[in-house]
Structure 1
Amino acid sequence: MAFRYQGVTVFPSDRLYSSVGACGTNDPSDVAKVQQLIAAVQYGFLTGRHLNVTGQCDFATIEAIRWYQSLLNMSPSGIISPVDVAFIEALHRMGPYWRPANTQGTLRVEQGQFTFDNEGCDYLPAVPPFRQHKYPYFSRILHWPQTPYSGVTIGRGFDMGNRSRGEIYSTLKYAGSEDYKAELCSRAANLKGRSCVSFIETYGPMVGEITHQQQVNLFNISFKTYVSSAERIYSRVSPRGLPWAFVEQKVKDVFYDTLYQGNTAAGKMAEIISQGKKAELVKWLNSVRPNKDARRDVARIAWLQ
């Protein structure tokens, strides 16, 4: 049975009883535990280095410890002690055979349910090699929407292509993500296009799934920005049109949704909405425009009618 130590889950089979690494006690049984954990989390694949499980703390073992400490944004001291349980838990949860299966949880959000429902699905298995089926994507793992202007994404549309490392890390942590997942995801800052594919192949299995609640929290945090932007854009573009307070909620939902997907013609759309004629909005959604998502526009029109 696992137990908690300073807020971290520790699995007895992985518990260290002495320090391992540079200038450590290096009891063979503890060294072997660390070597087994490291070998199980793609160290050879990620670095091209081979680590034998010998129970002997050699240079290769110390370098492997340093490599994962750096990866997890820890001081690369090359030594871990029995109190460094966060390091052990991170390795444990990165392992391909131990990752928890989040099979149920909430799929309801505070605002933007239409956008949330259309930004992904929750019924495809998150298993290696993390190759996604066609749209919509299983959203609780790293994925890439396969457009040149999209970045590595997790959850229902949390695109990291235009975000800094600090923003990614802090937002994921606020949503309830584990430290190591937030740190690994932050490395996707500003990545776009095909470079996202190699990132996901490398880090996808290590990040694994986020929970349903983390996904909801992440969406709620992000979506508030688009709600504020929508009202600001509308008020600036349409001061004499239909007041924002009287715009139908479903029309607002569609406007939010287009902004969430990077609407570059938001001003024009706001002008059409201000006329109060839903038929004109449907006509605009059916028109050809930059970065048009035809599949999504069909869903938007159905939502309006």
Structure 2
Amino acid sequence: MNSFKNEKLLIPSPLQEVEFYYRGKVCRLFVKRDDLIHFFIGGNKWRKLMGHPIFKEQKKRVRVLSTGGNYSNLVFALCWICHLYNYPLTILSPETAEDTYLMEWAKKLGVEFIGLSRTQLRAVRNDKQSPFDYITENKDVIWIPEGGSGPWSEEGISLMIKEIEDLLHCENVTLLAAAGTGISSFYMLKNLPMDWQLQVFPSIKSNAFNHFLEEELGKCQGKLAQWRLISQNGDKGIGNISDDLLDFLVTVYDHSGVLLDPFYNGKALYYFYKNKGLEGQSHQVVLIHSGGNQAWYGLSLKYPSDKRIKYLAEVVKTEFERFS
């Protein structure tokens, strides 16, 4: 699929060979540029949503209901997709959420936000409370869970693995990916060739989330020796970015022209590097660029005096403001 409601999609996305120098070391790897599929709907959100029935074929009367925070990559993608399909979109969000640049932009596209307490959102996410309880009209409403994941997600993710196989033509490949819900990682592992490895960075810093990922990935029969979690040692969790990580991401961009996001794929590569994963390679390393670069725009508004953040934000700022 190389078009979507008359929007041009870059499918297959490029597999870019990257080289950069950091602290006296030469680092080489490939980056699967899913961020280039489309500015708004690219990355792993498109991979996970492209197989959903309501996006494979236009429906006449559908309201989309989902959930996400005030900087959510899913909200970012769903806003544009539902705008193209003329589907009304309602987002269950934290009631304490500030009116961020993303929420303001979404409201311009007609998105409705319903504020819930932290307890209510947790109940919805854990399937202990129906999301339909919070809307007045349940007819023809389609629920898309946090992260956009579901059984439909395997179609796009398996296609991505096939694209890498077709473009790389080699054995002994290590895929690097970041996990927010774990669904993308699960389907990557499920469709992984037998001589490949998958290393996953847990973007949420908690023992409970690590255990959840271990349980989910452990469900892929016959794949136990093909995956591992990347150590988070030193990370302060999603939404936080250290000076060292910032310097690393600026270096990667300056040397390769590839802008990585600050919370997911950027951290995956940074902590893989810190764990000496790029040293003495006997395998090809492929980082999955899952999109999310709009986060730099938000960070530039939050930290206007940081020149490094401002520098990287300029890469996406012009494109974002063009649609704002």
TM-score range for the pair, normalised by the shorter chain length: under 0.3
Bigger RCO (CA 8 Å, 6+ sep): 2
Larger Rg: 1
Bigger helix fraction: 1
Bigger strand fraction: 2
User: Structure 2-normalised TM-score?
Assistant: 0.25
User: Structure 1-normalised TM-score?
Assistant: 0.26
